[in-house]
Structure 1
Amino acid sequence: MKPIHIALMLISAATLAFQVVLTRFFALAQGHHLAFMAVSLALLGAGASGSYLSLRPPTAANLPGVITRGATCFTLSLLAAYLAVNYLPFDAYRLALERSQLLWLTLYYLALTIPFFFSGLVIGATLAVEPGQAGALYAANLLGSGLGPPLALVSLAWLGGPGTLFLCALLGWLAVVGCQVSGVTFHVSRLTFNVSRPTLYALRFLLYSAVALGLVYLALHPPALFEVQLTPYKSLTQALLYPGSEIIFRRWNAFSRVDVIRSEGIRSAPGLSFAYSGELPPQLGLLVDGDNLSPITRPGSPEFTQHLPLALAFALRPAANTLILEPGGGLAVLTALQSGADAVTVVQSNHTVVEAMRHDFADFNGKLYSDPRVTLIIDEPRSFLRRTNQLFDLIILPLTDSFRPVTAGAYTLNEDYRYTVEAFADALAHLSPDGLLIVERWLQLPPSESLRLWGTAIAALELEGDRRPVRQAQGGPETGNRQEAQQLFALRSLQTSLIGIARAPLAVEDMVKVRQFANERQFDLIWLPDLQPDETNRFSLVPGDPYYRTFSELLTTPDPAAFFAAYPYAVAPPTDDHPFFFHFFKWQQIPEILQSLGWSWQPFGGSGYLVLVVLLALVILLSAGLILLPLLWMKDEGGRRKDEIFPSSSFILHPSSFFFYFTLLGLGFLFVEIPLLQHFILYLGQPAYAFAVVTSALLIAAGIGSRYLSPRLSLRLALPLIALLALLYPALLPSLFDATLRLPWIGRMLITVLALLPLGTLLGIPFPRGLRWVAQESPELIPWVWAVNGCASVISAVLAAMMALTWGFSVVLWSAALAYGLAAIVIRHYTD
């Protein structure tokens, strides 16, 4: 491998690692909504670099300077961009109130675009000058890109966010050094120095070494200046406003930052009964990514936990063998133990949370996880359920996140596989014959989270199978003799709802216990199989009793699809193919959103989906400018007539063919990558690890295909094969997962890599072969098609999110097959 290939690998790895750092930074500092926008727009830098190279095409003579200056500027701008977005006074919640926020938002995007512009400049210039080596150069780019994400995840766990930023800068600087080794120099010999050449080389070596060692030191000891600044609306920022509050624990891992705060202002007991008159026990606040404060509670009198809604589960199933999924600070575990649970299995996906609970704060929480009745498992809940054979009397999904209004938009893009129909069906399959699945969520008006949860429970019971006719309970509401109605119950406090799903129809004594529990603790019943309308809405009065009305209507309707279509918010049950539990947007909400713009608690007036619409329009507009500007310049000022550059006698030589081909490639690649990542999340477990494995496997395999297959395999064969595999993978992967799910994680990772290898290697062929086509016909357009491909990639990221939110991930993968199929039609006249 030549030094220039190593330099390309290093800067590509740094670029992808920096994208991972930015994603983590914005998830922590602002929220996932802005992380998506910022990283998507930052990718425009690659397209901008192609446009720049089209206007100022590199040559073999000036390529060394372009590469070296680009790599150096990437290293410097990477650090500068981070500082800019960390300290610019941008407040997304005030966008509708202050015009100045638009300026800060523009500067945000500009700052983030600059590093990607310079990395794209290095890669694009090399491909433009050396199209004959496109396969090898593109392979180096893909291999480096494939190494970037896992390197970033390892570094985040070891060095934290700011430390990983300096590691990215170090990789960029090593790319500069690689350029020097490959003969690319700063041309310092042109300057006048009164030193000998050996001395000059020694000084250069000292400079490179000093900068590299400095970056290593800063990675290990990042300055306080680079500490992430949180938005004032994060739970951690709000908690620190209370006098005497302090952070007593902070630790990074590959996918989150965990903080624990001590504050007298922490009083967290979601759904606590009005009948409780005692003091709340001392609590600490546990936060992941600065949000969703979950209490770590010092054990005290059981009277406190017995007045939480979750205590109903243990009133119904005393001495239960219990499974608790993602308990956060452990309040649900404390409730289970103080309620007399016989055994408690705790599944927590965040190992840093487990370490904090089991070691750092074990004395405070009463050694909760050292209780002999507790079995602790570090795993994703879905992954655990799909691999275990255990049956449980109770499976509990407790409430551990913060309240979100119905009109919140910041979390609409978050997929959550705990609340899908398939997730509930998996849980039901692991219940004992009289077992219960208990789920808690917040209440909103009109009903949204709770109603969506109710619909998901009904759909899961239908999916679970083995339906037997059950006699309608005497005196109960009319439910069309649906068995699901006999297996469900629900109650609410002032702010929270609890829904119970039984494996078998509820016994009469169970319904008696539910009524007794609700009446004693002043909780309102929403549903029981024999519930009468006058038994609801008694304590926390809500005009019109919308919870009982909508819950019973959904159970009685013969056409649930019509019910969901008529409801003002999107509350249809989420599925594994469409796992967006917090996405409630419908177009009919727009008047309400516009009316509350600038005044709602969450940013963007109430829908993250509208953010995607605006973002799509913006990236299309910017992409059009970046793509059309070079063509207009070449037409007006290039010194040649348009028909001299693009002969009109053959359509295949017209730039529209190049445009469509490279646009379809840019769209298709992410249309493949994003859905496949979602498929493998449930197989591999932790989403961050799935991202690293899937992304790296696809990119490295594509690099192998670019290097070794692109010179040999025809585009006429490669493109249809990609389209075919994109259609086959969703059908074949479930069987593969079922057959290998019980393998250890390393085994599943190897299966993932092998499964992605055929598709990945084929994905590495179309781009370098397309560059060869352009080089043969119109080599002046190589930088331009680099811009087209980069801009299309940004558009595809936004389009894929919108399509997944609207129709599900399968549609995105089908669209990938369509894109590659259309690309095959575009090149049908090209003889390779």
Structure 2
Amino acid sequence: MGKAVVVGRHGYAGLFLVTLATLMYEILLTRIFSATMWYHFAFVAISVAMFGMTVGAIVVYLAPSYFVAERARHHLGGSACLFGVSVVVCFLTQLSIPFIPDLSFLGMYSIALTYIVVSIPFIFSGVCVCLALTKFPRQVSTLYAADLAGAAFGCIAVIYTLKITDALTAMFVAALFGLVGAWFFALDAQSVKLRRVALIGCLFLAAFAGVETALVRHQKPLLRLRWVNGVVEDLPLYERWNSFSRLRVYRVDQTPPMLNLLIDTSAATGLFYYDGTFDHLQDLKHEAQNLCHYLRPNSRVLVVGSGGGKDILAALMFGQKSVLAVEINEDILDIVNNRFGDFTGHLDKHPKVTFVNDEARSYVTGLDEKFDILQISLIDTWAATATGAFVLSENSLYTVEAWKTFIEHLSPDGLLTLARWYFRYRPGVMYRMTSLAVASLRELGIENPSKHIAIVRKMFPEHPKNYPDGLGVILVSRSPFSDRDLAVLEQAAQLMPYEIVLSPRFSLDAIFAQIASGQNLDTLFKEFPIDITPSTDDRPFFFHMLRPRDVFHRERWDQGIVSFNMKAVVLLAALLATVIGLTLACIVVPLVLTAKKTPLRGSWPFFLFFASIGLGFMLVEISQLQRLIIFLGHPTYGLSAVLFTLLLSSGLGSYLTWNVERTGLAKAASLRLSLLLCALVVFGILTPTVIGHFQGSATMTRILVGVIVLFPLGLFMGMAFPLGMKLASSRSAALTPWLWGINGATSICASVLAVAIALAAGISVTFWTAFGCYVVATLAFVWANRGIRAPSS
């Protein structure tokens, strides 16, 4: 028998860099798609494109005579080189494809072409990773560790790359990492020709990325996004990217002078000219969201999501005592106070104003200070975060737990005020806000919440079809509204003017009145056409009010400008069906094509094992990600803490199985899988309690808690794949590429399934579904091991 083929240290470096580059490519696609198309289309694009990894594994499985072990090291270098080159070529091609968000032939063609083009680099990466994990069975533990470690550091690489350049240039950096990986593979394979090709590519990409980064910093890049939501984008005054947003500033021709700050495709805030006087800003006195200043003069104000500073200016104009502005996006603060500080009046230097760069909920939780007004105006998170195109962990400001925290940080007569778009005949969002207020007040022991809630609306005279009819504002008082409060409310209604929809004295709408009363809510919620139950940290999907069971009731989709939130649930259902179909195709088609060549007897327990751990790993990852992003309070921490910790600890877990031999495999696997199940039970029960206890702690403390919660889970989950691959290699090495492909396909399927489960039943149910998957995986491993022992007994 010949000497087994092994990978040298250069091969490990190559695999590390290719998986690092692959994760960078995936995350950067997420960011770019979020900036060019509606966020749920971005989710579909990434989910479908990721199947390219599985296609790569299937290619290896279907061509065993080409991908022989003796040539595997050369193929690793070739596939890595093709990955790096294809990232550049496919990305530039994708930039030229207009995204047309409709169901016309041209729209479907543009969407399908986009999916196909962006999936090609994943195919080459899939070939590379599959070869590494299946052609060197003796090193599978350490190679899988390098795979996961590379992905972990890919999370960090994206964050720091986007701190110095834009997402378009970062794509070339990702390609550069891929070609450096190819160079290391070429060293390992002793291929001089491939080494030269990779080196030339590296030099070109490094030079281009360096020059383009310098141009980006001077706002003169060679590459720009051309097509945004199907139209050619105008040239902005200023543009900035980070790991969770794309910001552009445009000039607006209006009086008073204003600049428009756009965030991705669906959010905007205004930068108002301020010279220390308010003569040109008198209209702010007539805006409904500023009603709070009439009710609570001379107040300490906390503004959540300060954006361009409009709410700050309003508070100053009303002569409030102080303003604390909390903004999660540091680049918005830089734009407002530095880049365009001369235009906005350098509000950060105003003696009454203090800016804080933090996530508001986490920041407020850790404060001892009380506020007279806590204001939240039109805060949305409709963009894809860096952690995933559609994790759907909606803004954590709109949950019972968050509102309870905000109300607890009000002075005895303090007001919590929130503004949302209002639709005269379909105010579903405002209904849900009211139920959220009622639930939060009841959590604080208030038996009659109707005395603490008022709602007003200011209707627009004219507006395009499907745009809001007006603006709605809900006011939640920690103490019951006094007669003086209600008199001021009614006087201001005539001055501004606006309509009072709900107050302790009356209601224009019977639904508002019933919700505020807190009576028979279970019946109302059950019978209402859309979901207006209060959102919680376990189901933080405030804007998604279409129940999964109602996806086929088209009449329930119509919610005006936010109808796309309803259609997103429909799209999610269609996508789930699509990825299930693609997963089944990835399983069945290779079997049909190779049934006569590859013996399949005894392979079903392996299929079940790898499918189960693929589902289980991703369900755990996404459920913990959704929980901990709320806890940690910043989208970037989803990359730098959550995903990094989970992937790195999984890599360490894989490495710790390197010395497990076939003779002791059953015992070692039984112990490790049992410990995994125990860890899932312990942390599944403890995680909600632990993060609740440390919610108000300092950021570094919360990150440390997150690491402690994640690390043991990742450690044991990372052991499952190499243990299963070692067992499968002893059964039939020819099957291992197919098994790796199954693992990848079910992981992608689980990324969609996790969202669907959380939306329908909650994040906790997603986690316990993952536990069930690992129970099945454990039983499948026992079954597979017995199947191998049976012939020899």
Query: How does the TM-score come out when normalised to structure 1?
Result: 0.85
The aligned amino acid for 1:501 is V
The aligned amino acid for 1:657 is P
Q: Distance in 2 between matches of 1:360 and 1:109?
A: 37
The aligned amino acid for 1:630 is P
CA deviations on 1:768-812 (whole Å, 9 max, x unpaired) are 010011111121100110110111011101101111111111111
The residue number in structure 2 matching 1:231 is: 228
The residue number in structure 1 matching 2:521 is: 560
Change (3 A) 1:219 1:360: closer
The aligned amino acid for 1:720 is S
Quote the offset at 1:76 in angstroms.
1.2
Is 1:393 the equivalent of 2:372?
Answer: yes
Query: For 1:5, which of 12, 17, 22 is the aligned residue?
Result: 12
Is 1:811 the equivalent of 2:771?
Answer: no
The answer as to whether partners of 1:668 and 1:817 remain within 8 angstroms in 2 is yes
The residue number in structure 2 matching 1:168 is: 174
Is 1:763 the equivalent of 2:738?
Answer: no
The answer as to whether partners of 2:612 and 2:776 remain within 8 angstroms in 1 is yes
The residue number in structure 1 matching 2:456 is: 491
The residue number in structure 2 matching 1:362 is: 341
Quote the offset at 1:735 in angstroms.
4.5
Query: For 1:630, which of 590, 593, 601 is the aligned residue?
Result: 590
The residue number in structure 2 matching 1:49 is: 56
The residue number in structure 2 matching 1:619 is: 579
Q: Distance in 1 between matches of 2:608 and 2:744?
A: 13
Q: Distance in 1 between matches of 2:37 and 2:241?
A: 17
Change (3 A) 1:206 1:131: closer
Quote the offset at 1:339 in angstroms.
0.7
The residue number in structure 2 matching 1:517 is: 492
The answer as to whether partners of 1:483 and 1:505 remain within 8 angstroms in 2 is no
Change (3 A) 1:492 1:605: closer
The residue number in structure 2 matching 1:207 is: 200
Q: Distance in 2 between matches of 1:30 and 1:5?
A: 37
CA deviations on 1:741-763 (whole Å, 9 max, x unpaired) are 56543443334323322111101
Quote the offset at 1:734 in angstroms.
4.3
The answer as to whether partners of 1:347 and 1:380 remain within 8 angstroms in 2 is yes
User: Bigger radius of gyration, 1 or 2?
Assistant: 1
Quote the offset at 1:382 in angstroms.
0.9
The SS at the match of 1:61 is: helix
The residue number in structure 2 matching 1:196 is: none
Change (3 A) 1:402 1:611: closer
Greater shift in the superposed pair: 742-751 or 654-663: 742-751
The answer as to whether partners of 2:421 and 2:472 remain within 8 angstroms in 1 is yes
Q: Distance in 2 between matches of 1:402 and 1:49?
A: 34
Q: Distance in 2 between matches of 1:177 and 1:760?
A: 30
Change (3 A) 1:319 1:690: same
Greater shift in the superposed pair: 45-54 or 316-325: 45-54
CA deviations on 1:125-145 (whole Å, 9 max, x unpaired) are 122211111101101101101
Q: Distance in 1 between matches of 2:323 and 2:52?
A: 51
Query: For 2:157, which of 151, 157, 161 is the aligned residue?
Result: 151
CA deviations on 1:361-395 (whole Å, 9 max, x unpaired) are 22222332321111111100111111111101111
Is 1:456 the equivalent of 2:436?
Answer: yes
Query: For 1:776, which of 730, 738, 742 is the aligned residue?
Result: 730
Q: Distance in 1 between matches of 2:349 and 2:270?
A: 18
The residue number in structure 2 matching 1:750 is: 704
The SS at the match of 2:394 is: coil
Change (3 A) 1:258 1:132: same
The answer as to whether partners of 2:259 and 2:271 remain within 8 angstroms in 1 is yes
The answer as to whether partners of 1:723 and 1:816 remain within 8 angstroms in 2 is no
Quote the offset at 1:399 in angstroms.
2.5
The residue number in structure 1 matching 2:552 is: 590
Change (3 A) 1:395 1:99: same
Quote the offset at 1:831 in angstroms.
4.6
The residue number in structure 2 matching 1:351 is: 330
The residue number in structure 2 matching 1:377 is: 356
Is 1:116 the equivalent of 2:122?
Answer: yes
Is 1:281 the equivalent of 2:259?
Answer: no
The answer as to whether partners of 1:161 and 1:252 remain within 8 angstroms in 2 is yes
The residue number in structure 2 matching 1:610 is: 570
CA deviations on 1:688-725 (whole Å, 9 max, x unpaired) are 22233111111111111101146457222322332332
Quote the offset at 1:105 in angstroms.
2.1
The answer as to whether partners of 1:293 and 1:402 remain within 8 angstroms in 2 is no
CA deviations on 1:402-432 (whole Å, 9 max, x unpaired) are 999xxxxx99946111111111101001011
The SS at the match of 2:240 is: strand
Q: Distance in 1 between matches of 2:618 and 2:403?
A: 30
The SS at the match of 1:492 is: strand
The aligned amino acid for 1:84 is T
Change (3 A) 1:411 1:571: farther
The residue number in structure 2 matching 1:724 is: 678
The SS at the match of 2:243 is: coil
Q: Distance in 1 between matches of 2:454 and 2:46?
A: 43
CA deviations on 1:589-646 (whole Å, 9 max, x unpaired) are 63436998xx99789795111111111222222222222222112224x2xxx6xx24
Runs of at least 5 residues in structure 2 that lack an aligned partner in the other structure? 1-7, 384-388, 460-469, 661-666, 787-793
Q: How many percent of aligned residue pairs carry the same amino acid? A: 28
The answer as to whether partners of 2:657 and 2:719 remain within 8 angstroms in 1 is yes
Q: Distance in 2 between matches of 1:403 and 1:551?
A: 26
Greater shift in the superposed pair: 486-495 or 353-362: 353-362
The answer as to whether partners of 2:294 and 2:488 remain within 8 angstroms in 1 is yes
The answer as to whether partners of 1:659 and 1:785 remain within 8 angstroms in 2 is yes
Change (3 A) 1:111 1:732: same
The answer as to whether partners of 2:256 and 2:273 remain within 8 angstroms in 1 is yes
Q: How many residues align?
A: 746
Query: For 1:667, which of 608, 615, 620 is the aligned residue?
Result: 615
Is 1:138 the equivalent of 2:92?
Answer: no
The answer as to whether partners of 2:551 and 2:570 remain within 8 angstroms in 1 is no
Query: For 2:503, which of 528, 531, 540 is the aligned residue?
Result: 528
Q: Distance in 2 between matches of 1:186 and 1:604?
A: 54
The SS at the match of 2:430 is: helix
The SS at the match of 1:62 is: helix
The aligned amino acid for 2:589 is L
Q: Distance in 2 between matches of 1:104 and 1:248?
A: 29
Q: Which runs of structure 2 are paired with 1:398-417 in the superposition (5 Å)?
A: 398-399=377-378, 413=392, 415-417=394-396
RMSD (Å), alpha carbons: 2.7
Query: For 1:329, which of 283, 300, 308 is the aligned residue?
Result: 308
Q: Distance in 2 between matches of 1:186 and 1:801?
A: 47
Query: For 2:638, which of 690, 710, 727 is the aligned residue?
Result: 690
The SS at the match of 2:341 is: coil
Is 1:733 the equivalent of 2:679?
Answer: no
The residue number in structure 1 matching 2:5 is: none
CA deviations on 1:290-333 (whole Å, 9 max, x unpaired) are 43221112243253111111232111111001111002111111
Runs of at least 5 residues in structure 1 that lack an aligned partner in the other structure? 189-200, 241-245, 266-279, 405-409, 468-481, 537-547, 648-653
The answer as to whether partners of 1:420 and 1:579 remain within 8 angstroms in 2 is yes
The answer as to whether partners of 1:285 and 1:293 remain within 8 angstroms in 2 is yes
Q: Distance in 1 between matches of 2:188 and 2:716?
A: 30
Change (3 A) 1:589 1:180: closer
Q: Distance in 1 between matches of 2:640 and 2:382?
A: 31
